[in-house]
Amino acid sequence: MSSKKRAVLVCLGALAGLFLLFIFRGYLIDWFKKSWQNAIDWNINPFIFVGLLFATLYHYYKGWFEIAKGVVTRDKETLYHGIALNRFVWAIPYLYVLIFGRGYPWWVPAGIIAWMVIGLVIFIKNYRKQDYIKKMTESPVGKLVSRFTKSKTEDVTK
């Protein structure tokens, strides 16, 4: 697909998204207000939850970077450290809800735990596939990581 066609499709998709957002804005505002009130009723401070999401963002992507670096350099220690960091940091905001929340329905912790387990299973399943690793190493990010890590290892050996 040419870049002009791709640009037109992206613009049309953005316009369609804005149109749908405009149509459903009342529904979205009501959903947001209801979710906010539920969080307060369940003893969860929404500012802390969102703050935890933003506070863990750097470490979440640092974990992905370490995973890619471990795959590219075939360093299992870096790879396992990246996986552990990524998965732990990913779970922190939701663990806040499970630990400090009170009075929520049974399906809230069941949903959070199921989401964590399913996310971990999908991650492990995809990580073991060779084409997944190939995509990680041959993607622009993988090539960038490879360039950085090769230059560092070459400088050390000289």
Tell the residue number behind the tokens 């947001």, with chain if given.
32
Residues 14 and 71 in one domain: no
Looking at 41, 56, 72, which one is the last position of a domain?
Answer: 41
Residues 26 and 82 in one domain: no
Six token digits for residue 70: 């471990």
Calpha distance 144→129 (Å, rounded): 22
Give residue 69's pLDDT: 82
Residues 64 and 105 in one domain: yes
Residues 89 and 20 in one domain: no
Give residue 141's pLDDT: 66
Six token digits for residue 10: 């992206």
Residues 24 and 100 in one domain: no
Residues 21 and 72 in one domain: no
Question: Helices 76-100 and 107-127 meet at what angle, rounded to 10?
Answer: 170
Residues 96 and 151 in one domain: yes
Residues 66 and 140 in one domain: yes
Give residue 138's pLDDT: 73
Residues 21 and 50 in one domain: no
Give residue 157's pLDDT: 44
Residues 24 and 61 in one domain: no
The number of folded domains in the chain is: 2
Residues 26 and 51 in one domain: no
Give residue 125's pLDDT: 77
Give residue 152's pLDDT: 47
Calpha distance 1→23 (Å, rounded): 31
Domain that holds residue 5: 1-41
Q: In this structure, how many other beta carbons lie within 10 angstroms of the beta carbon of residue 145?
A: 22
Question: Could you report the average pLDDT of every consecutive run of 10 residues in the chain (158 residues)?
Answer: 81 88 81 84 86 89 84 81 85 87 85 84 74 70 67 45
Give residue 148's pLDDT: 67
C-alpha torsion sign, points 122, 125, 128, 132: negative
Looking at 41, 56, 73, which one is the last position of a domain?
Answer: 41
Residues 34 and 73 in one domain: no
